[in-house]
A and B are shown apart, each in its own frame.
Chain A
Amino acid sequence: MKHDIQVTINGTSHQLAVPANRTLLELLRDDLRLTGTNKGCEAGDCGACTVLLDGDPVPSCLVLAVQADGCDVLTIEGLASGNRLHPIQQAFVDTGAVQCGYCTPGMILVSLALLRKNPHPDEAEIRGALSGNLCRCTGYQKIVQAVQAAAKEMP
């Protein structure tokens, strides 16, 4: 049995019929082929699948697609405007906050949510905001620095 939902993804409205048990992560990756949202655990533990749901970061593996009905979803693919990177993306590139890149989309999206709410976070606030997103490569040092750099750049 499928449910009809309307969801806006990266600014585009989609009318979709989804099974009740389909997760938002599966909807994005498998149905819409938005594979920038990564799958690391499917249990809400790693943050690799983070997207913004009406502006709030959520692990898309724990959200059912039907729960996104009527919502606005931002994935990593929706952040840059054309070839122009978002300041957070640019900061991740410039500071070397990217290694394997698997955590990167989630890290960037939680950073965006943080900076929208708190444009001038201190280091502890940044670390707190990132703490639901695991990174095995960086030790977080350069990610924290990227968020600090982005905070300076963002309007």
Chain B
Amino acid sequence: MNSYRVLNSRVARVDAVEKVVGKAVYTDDMVVSGMLYGAILHSPVAHARILSIDTSLAKALPGVKAVLTHADTGHVKFGVSPARYDETIFCEDKVRYVGDEVAAVAATDPGTAMKALDLIKVVYEPLPILLDGLRAMEPGAPKVHERFHRNICQEVHWHFGDVDAARAQADFVRTDSLSSKMQDGAFLEPQSALAQYDHNGYLTLYSSTQTTHYVHRTLAMVLDIPLHKVRVVKPYVGGGFGPKAACSSMELITALLAMKTGRPVKITFDREQVFLHSRARHQFFHKMTTGIRRDGTISFLEHHCIMDGGAYSSFGIASVYYAGSLLGGPYRLANMKYDGYRVFTNKPVSGAQRGHGAVIARALFEVQLDRLAEEIGMDPLELRLKNVMETGDTTCNELDMSSLGMRECLEAVRERTGWNSRRTKGSSHKADGHGMGVAAGFFVSGAGYPIYRSRTHHCTVEIKVAEVGGGVTVRSGAAEIGQGSDTMLAMITAEVLGIPMEDVKVLSGDSDLSVDLGAYSSRTTLMTGHATRQAAMDARKQILEVLAEKTGIPLDALDIRDGFVHVQGSQMDFASIRKEYLGEHRGFPTQPHGDLLTFAEASRLAFLERGSIIGKGSYRPPPLGGSFKGAAVGTSPAFGCSAQVAELNVDMETGQIHMERITGAHDCGFAINRTQVEAQMQGAMSMGLGEALMEEVKYDDQGRILNANLAEYKIPTAMDMPPLESIIVESHEPNGPFGAKEVGEGAIMPTIPAVLNALYDATGAMVTELPLTPERVLRAIKKARGETSRGDGDTREQV
């Protein structure tokens, strides 16, 4: 048992009450006086030269206050990585996907803004369209960007160890393929932004973003405003999962409209625009060859990947590295070769989504491990345990597993599901329609480096002790997007300062408050948690120092617990302190009493003696990673890991999958809040299950999305989701605050392969294309039935 008072508990979230009473404010809930409504004209064609844009009729419409095109901008390019800045606010010479931004208006009401859009006349000259990511690199394929040869946004070629030597010594080798479909973030709150520009040249943008920091920098850069005059505020955000992690044209347009009109402007996406903007999970085409020794030791992995990135780079340069680097663990793998290509097509842009870049790669590798286990007659869970890395191991691509409870996670799901007695041994596919599958995975706990080259602190936190005494305010730039970071900040502060959580107020998500790179790469608990701990310790020390000076009690004999000052060994005479406090508070109905000095009295005294007390904290990871090209991507101060067992039934006649249960175990290092750790695990499972079973953005042959709505783009409902079990494993990460590390993304890693492996267990069918629609499953079942031998290598279907 630990001795924490707040940490590791199941205390309610600090934002829960506001959210259940409907008082939580999201960006689109905001209305300010004089506000205009913006609207964006998107390209209706996938690839075309812009010959002319005529805005005169739109400008003449009563109620229209501004109409903007590229001619009204500073033509500054932006994107995610400075090495791949390839976007402009509006298209200049050509449009590259259906949805590309061409023009925008601001008007006194939304209806007028929409009418004005209809009056803008754009003449396009169609260009050949490239929609198939697999054809992007072929000679003669239409070119999406002039500057990118063969439509390659980024390619990666890695070779760790010696794959050829390992192949010669492997007893079993097999090659498999898996492809996926473009996924949509499908967060419930569409993006929204509200901009205000004042007479002193200060710009404030309220936005539904995960990363106020990068939006701040991009606004300043593209609109050419001094950085210190830009403020980005994130109200409550209705989910992000990655797609809200970069500055968008919409945010820039909103700000530019406010600057041009001198009035506040708001733009809120409709659901179709959420799909058009996308920046969600790529479509992946993976091919892997894995070798194994007769005793179950994994010998090597050879991995080829093409990712369809859509029209711009976005996060893709990182995604293609992640797809390779995050197979370095959690199994001992000395020899790994990776060739990855992230290519452009004339489709909406893919970016980062929960489990950035690594989810489908993980799925295929875990499927291969199961098939190889079958070939050598070993239980697949046993095979994983045999190869699993332990705390202190380093991967072939130099990722340091400073803590790794992978074995504990696998054992936990084995135990909880009764795996050993319930899963049929030996010949696995008994084809009775019921199956169990296991898989594992790991993920970073905060990217080792910022997106731009800098020595910047990744986050700073200030804890301001109320001058009046009694409470503190945490000031952080961290982005609460539903994952619970505000609660984490409050819990750590309360724990360290020894005060009740209700006396901690959290201000966050505002670039004026502090630096924080934002909610991505599962970084907040580890990084901002560190900074918060440091800031709270600093504030505590300052208060106790004053008390030690005033009472003569040594500093290390003083402690604050539950809002009272405790003294070790001796008695503290605080009569004069209390007398002064009572004197200041004549007439207040509630007064301190009893024989312990209160935190209110101690913190008030600290102010009287020293002025404002502000505890400061910051965090910056140590230099990480190897010296090879791209070594920085995938580095992290720590890695979380996860194992899951999926159980399902398949209707052998229709191919319909019915999920029975998913049991997961995740090593989060140390659970700051146990309920929220489970909540992250369960959310990850549902997103993984959606991608496995049903999610697919569909296109027509002109590059238009066919299902840009939540009726035809299916995400799991309460009826689709089976009961979810979540087991918390705590390996006590030395680089994490109180031992904590990530849970938000690592927990999605095993879901898809656990389902694929359960499907094989149930039916003997291998599906090589996601999602697992009944048609695909049925086709695979039929194929499996027709086959005389199994395990004969690549079972890839024709695309």
Contacts and interface: CB of A to CB of B under 8 A. Distances in A.
Interface of A: 29, 33-46, 48, 75-77, 79-80, 85, 89, 92-96, 98-105, 108, 123, 126-128, 130-144
Interface string B243-275: 000000000000000000000000000110000
Given A35-B25, A42-B271, A136-B186, A108 B683 contact: no
Nearest to A128: B719
Nearest to A41: B271
B723 interface: yes
Contact of B21 (A89, A132, A143): A89
A104 to B, nearest CB: 5
A96 B679 contact: yes
B289 to A, nearest CB: 34
Contacts of B188: 38, 40, 46, 48, 100, 102-103, 134-136
11 contacts: A33-B31, A77-B22, A89-B20, A98-B13, A100-B238, A102-B26, A102-B238, A135-B188, A136-B187, A136-B687, A137-B679
Contact of A142 (B20, B21, B679): B679
A43 B710 contact: yes
Contacts of A93: 12-13, 16-17, 20
Given A104-B19, A140-B718, 18 more contacts: A36-B23, A38-B26, A41-B271, A76-B22, A79-B21, A89-B21, A93-B12, A93-B16, A98-B20, A99-B484, A102-B187, A102-B188, A136-B187, A136-B683, A137-B683, A139-B684, A141-B721, A141-B724
B239 interface: yes
A41 B20 contact: no
B111 to A, nearest CB: 10
B682 interface: yes
B711 interface: yes
B483 interface: yes
Nearest to B23: A36
Interface in B672-717: 675-676, 678-679, 682-687, 709-711, 715-717
A99 B683 contact: yes
Given A101-B482, A139-B685, A139-B721, A35 B29 contact: yes
Nearest to A48: B188
A7 B484 CA distance: 37
Nearest to A146: B20
A142 B718 CA distance: 11
Contact of B718 (A76, A77, A144): A144
Contacts of B22: 34-37, 75-77, 105
Contact of A92 (B20, B481, B709, B718): B20
Contacts of A127: 718-719, 721
A95 B678 CA distance: 11
B710 A46 contact: yes
Nearest to A95: B675
Contact of B482 (A44, A130, A137): A137
Contacts of B676: 96
Contacts of B16: 92-93, 98
Contact of A136 (B190, B241, B679, B709): B241
B785 interface: no
Nearest to B686: A139
A40 B190 contact: yes
B10 A96 contact: yes
A136 B26 CA distance: 16
A89 B24 CA distance: 14
A44 B709 CA distance: 10
Among A80, A89, A101, find the residue whose CB has the most chain B CB atoms closer than 10 A: A101
Interface string B222-244: 00000000000000111101000
B718 A131 contact: yes
A100 B718 contact: no
A139 B679 CA distance: 8
Given A75-B22, A138-B679, A102 B189 contact: yes
Given A42-B270, A93-B12, A98-B13, A143 B189 contact: no
A139 B188 CA distance: 13
A154 to B, nearest CB: 15
Interface string B1-25: 0000000001011011111111111
Given A43-B710, A45-B710, A76-B22, A38 B189 contact: yes
Contacts of A123: 723
Nearest to B13: A98
A128 B686 CA distance: 17
A93 B19 CA distance: 9
A98 B13 CA distance: 8
B516 interface: no
Contact of A85 (B17, B715, B719): B17
A40 B185 CA distance: 13
A36 B24 CA distance: 7
B715 A136 contact: yes
Nearest to A142: B679
A79 to B, nearest CB: 7
Nearest to A29: B29
Given A37-B22, A134-B188, A96 B675 contact: yes
A79 B271 CA distance: 28
Contact of B711 (A43, A85, A99, A130): A43
10 cross-chain pairs, A with B, having the tightest CB-CB distances, nearest first: A36-B22, A100-B482, A102-B238, A101-B19, A139-B686, A76-B22, A139-B682, A96-B675, A35-B29, A45-B710
Contact of A101 (B12, B15, B686, B718): B15
B769 interface: no
Interface in B167-187: 185-187
A45 B190 CA distance: 14
A131 B21 contact: no
A144 B185 CA distance: 23
A43 B271 contact: yes
B28 interface: yes
A139 B726 CA distance: 12
A44 B190 CA distance: 15
A76 B238 contact: no
B28 to A, nearest CB: 7
B710 A76 contact: no
Nearest to B710: A45
Contacts of B715: 134, 136
Contacts of B686: 136, 138-140
Contacts of A96: 10, 12-13, 675-676, 678-679
Nearest to B236: A101
A39 B26 CA distance: 10
Contacts of B684: 139
B491 to A, nearest CB: 14
A105 B484 CA distance: 18
Of A96, A104, A135, chain B has the most CB atoms within 10 Å of the CB of: A96
A45 B709 contact: yes
B305 to A, nearest CB: 27
B378 to A, nearest CB: 32
A48 B274 CA distance: 16
B239 A102 contact: yes
Question: In the complex, which of the residues A40, A98, A100 has the most CB atoms of chain B within 10 Å of its own CB atom?
Answer: A100
Contacts of B687: 136
B503 to A, nearest CB: 18
Nearest to A108: B20
Nearest to A75: B22
A33 B716 CA distance: 31
B211 to A, nearest CB: 16
A45 to B, nearest CB: 4
Nearest to B240: A100
A98 B682 CA distance: 12
